[in-house]
């Protein structure tokens, strides 16, 4: 409920008005105060919607104060005290509104003599209506301790997590949040129980990586089969990527391994019945040059980029030869994305770093949050969206320093994000959220 003061607040407001008027007269008598404008008609009043907020702006004048009246619906008047902000300045950001809900707004101006002018015409706005990852739907949590990864292939989404949890959903332009309900995988390899830390779509198959190095694959997101494991017992609390005909996995202690045995050619097999062409050969460990834990690897703009502990970053074109990069930060880095001609990586304490070439990186000085950012994706209507601690969301169309807008999607930590027209993020306690 919008409640700033009760309906019996009229006398209080009149008292405030009288006090301001008396003070203004005293200042004028003493030769003090600023120049004033006698006009009390508000001009160029506008309301711009955002995520759970609106930005109010108008032409302001010295010596005047402005009061905002607002409420849910299509109309509001000066008798509506439940939504009232006194003596605001332009531009003014009104927060804690409800997305996809229409609000009505008027503004009044009062001069230094206490004379109030007419209210503006009513302006309506709907927070979250500007689209592209701004309006988030918090779905019912799935029955799993944590969801660690999510991937999209065609119109299908797959998310994976602890205790061999696998769920899939379909994009839906008519469903709330842009996706259908999540459903569990029907068939898993016999006895498979590994925690799954990452999932990708390689163009034909979904490929999921287990904490113990196990690999499972599916062509339809429902039936899953075992492929060649990486290294029994290897701590692979990292991720898997695919590009240039090569699969790459990363993990603790700077571990990197590659596999080129899976051709994954569309149409050469029946994905739901056989996995004869994907990851059949042994994995080859590679020299990373670091002992820091690596948390993720991604294939972006033709190269692999691995990120990890204390600002670690490695890049490679083939997954075999790796080059360490100076990231300008000692904060842990979690994920990287590429779009709008820019590479952007995110990490702990709201860290955002960017690069034009993936070799020279700059730490951005104007991150809108100090919360950890665990995931980033470029998609939707050409927008970077990063997700992280306690449901934190930041987004930007350019990825440039100072261009990020802070938002939120629930209160659960979010560990991975994907999406096309709809962004989908997953995380702690089975959390799934979708934004568009």
Q: What DSSP string runs through 365-396?
A: S--S--S-EEEEEEETTTEEEEEEGGGEEEEE
Strand ranges (E), 74-122: 84-88, 92-94, 103-110
Q: 307 and 177 share a domain? A: yes
Q: 59 and 187 share a domain? A: no
What pLDDT was estimated at residue 100?
Answer: 65
| Rg of the chain (C-alpha set) | 27
Tens digit of each residue's pLDDT (9 = 90 or more) over 348-366: 999 999 999 999 999 999 9
247 pLDDT higher than 90: yes
What pLDDT was estimated at residue 32?
Answer: 43
Task: Indicate the pLDDT class of residue 266, thresholds 50, 70 and 90.
Answer: very low
Q: 346 and 213 share a domain? A: yes
Both tokens of residue 199?
A: 């999932």
Tens digit of each residue's pLDDT (9 = 90 or more) over 189-209: 999 999 999 999 998 899 999
The domain that holds 116 is classified in CATH as 2.60.40.10
Residue 131 lies in a domain: no
Q: What's the rounded mean pLDDT across residues 291-303?
A: 96
What pLDDT was estimated at residue 380?
Answer: 67
236 pLDDT higher than 70: yes
Q: How many structural domains comprise the chain?
A: 2
Weakest mean pLDDT among 51-60, 157-166, 371-380: 51-60
Distance between CA 378 and CA 343 in Å, rounded?
Answer: 10
What pLDDT was estimated at residue 71?
Answer: 93
395 pLDDT higher than 50: yes
Single out the residue of 153, 101, 110, 81 nearest to residue 21, CA to CA: 110
Q: 12 and 59 share a domain? A: yes
What pLDDT was estimated at residue 51?
Answer: 67
The domain that holds 396 is classified in CATH as 2.130.10.10
121 pLDDT higher than 80: yes
Question: Looking at 100, 125, 150, which one is the last position of a domain?
Answer: 125
What pLDDT was estimated at residue 38?
Answer: 63
Q: 114 and 190 share a domain? A: no
Domain assignment of residue 315, given as a range: 136-435
What pLDDT was estimated at residue 261?
Answer: 82
Q: 285 and 403 share a domain? A: yes
Q: 365 and 262 share a domain? A: yes
Weakest mean pLDDT among 134-148, 262-276, 351-365: 262-276
Task: Give the position of tokens 């104060």.
Answer: 65
Q: 259 and 359 share a domain? A: yes
What pLDDT was estimated at residue 276?
Answer: 39
Cis? peptide before 210, omega within 30° of 0: no
Q: What's the rounded mean pLDDT across residues 154-161?
A: 93
Residue 334 and residue 294 in contact, taking contact as beta carbons nearer than 8 Å: no
234 pLDDT higher than 80: no
26 pLDDT higher than 90: no
135 pLDDT higher than 90: no
Task: Indicate the pLDDT class of residue 20, thresholds 50, 70 and 90.
Answer: very low
Q: 115 and 201 share a domain? A: no
What pLDDT was estimated at residue 382?
Answer: 82
The residue that leads in pLDDT, 73 or 196, is 196
DSSP state of 187: B
Weakest mean pLDDT among 63-77, 258-272, 301-315, 385-399: 258-272
Between the alpha carbon of residue 41 and those of residues 20, 45, 118, 326, the distances in Å are: 19, 10, 6, 56
How long a stretch of residues is the chain?
A: 436
Q: Indicate the helix (H) or strand (E) that contains 344.
A: strand 342-347
Question: Looking at 96, 125, 154, which one is the last position of a domain?
Answer: 125
Residue 1 lies in a domain: no
Strand partners, 265: none
Q: 117 and 203 share a domain? A: no
Question: Looking at 125, 159, 192, which one is the last position of a domain?
Answer: 125
Residue 427 and residue 412 in contact, taking contact as beta carbons nearer than 8 Å: yes
Weakest mean pLDDT among 126-135, 233-242, 367-376: 126-135
The residue that leads in pLDDT, 174 or 319, is 319
**CB neighbours of 52 closer than 8 A, spacing ≥ 6?**
95, 96, 97, 98, 99, 127, 128, 407, 408
Residue 224 lies in a domain: yes
Q: 217 and 304 share a domain? A: yes
Q: 298 and 390 share a domain? A: yes
């Amino acid at each position: 409920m919008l409640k700033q003061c009760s309906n019996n607040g009229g006398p209080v407001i009149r008292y405030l008005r009288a006090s301001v008027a008396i003070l203004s007269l005293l200042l004028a008598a003493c030769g003090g105060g600023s120049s004033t404008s006698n006009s009390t008609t508000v001009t160029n009043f506008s309301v711009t919607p955002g995520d759970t907020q609106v930005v109010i702006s108008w032409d302001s004048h010295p010596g005047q104060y402005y009061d905002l009246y607002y409420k849910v619906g299509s109309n509001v008047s000066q008798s509506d005290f439940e939504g009232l902000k006194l003596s605001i300045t332009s531009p003014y950001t009104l927060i804690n509104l409800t997305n996809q809900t229409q609000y009505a707004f008027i503004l009044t101006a009062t001069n230094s003599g206490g004379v109030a002018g007419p209210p503006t015409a009513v302006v309506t706005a709907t927070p979250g209506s500007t689209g592209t990852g701004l309006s988030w739907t918090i779905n019912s949590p799935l029955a799993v301790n944590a969801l660690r990864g999510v991937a999209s292939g065609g119109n299908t989404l797959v998310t994976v997590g602890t205790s061999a949890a696998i769920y899939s959903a379909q994009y839906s332009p008519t469903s709330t949040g842009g996706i259908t309900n999540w459903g569990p995988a029907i068939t898993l390899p016999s006895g498979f129980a590994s925690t799954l830390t990452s999932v990708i779509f390689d163009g034909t198959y979904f490929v999921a990586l287990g904490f113990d190095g196990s690999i499972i694959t599916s062509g339809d997101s429902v039936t899953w089969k075992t492929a060649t494991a990486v290294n029994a017992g290897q701590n692979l609390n990292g991720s898997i990527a695919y590009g240039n005909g090569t699969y790459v996995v990363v993990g603790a202690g700077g571990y990197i391994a590659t596999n080129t045995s899976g051709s994954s050619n569309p149409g050469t097999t029946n994905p739901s019945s056989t996995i004869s062409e994907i990851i059949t050969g042994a994995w080859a460990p590679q020299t990373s040059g670091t002992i820091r834990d690596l948390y993720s690897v991604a294939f972006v703009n033709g190269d692999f980029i691995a990120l990890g502990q204390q600002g670690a970053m490695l890049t490679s074109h083939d997954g075999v030869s790796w080059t360490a990069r100076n990231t300008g930060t000692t904060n842990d880095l979690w994920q990287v994305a590429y779009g709008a001609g820019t590479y952007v990586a995110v990490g702990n304490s709201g860290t955002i770093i960017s690069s034009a070439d993936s070799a020279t990186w700059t730490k951005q000085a104007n991150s809108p949050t100090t919360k950890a950012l665990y995931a980033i994706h470029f998609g939707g209507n050409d927008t970077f969206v990063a997700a992280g601690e306690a449901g934190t969301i930041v987004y930007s169309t350019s990825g440039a320093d100072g261009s990020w807008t802070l938002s939120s999607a629930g209160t659960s930590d979010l560990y991975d994000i994907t999406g096309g027209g709809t962004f989908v993020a997953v995380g702690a306690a089975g959390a799934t959220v979708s934004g568009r």
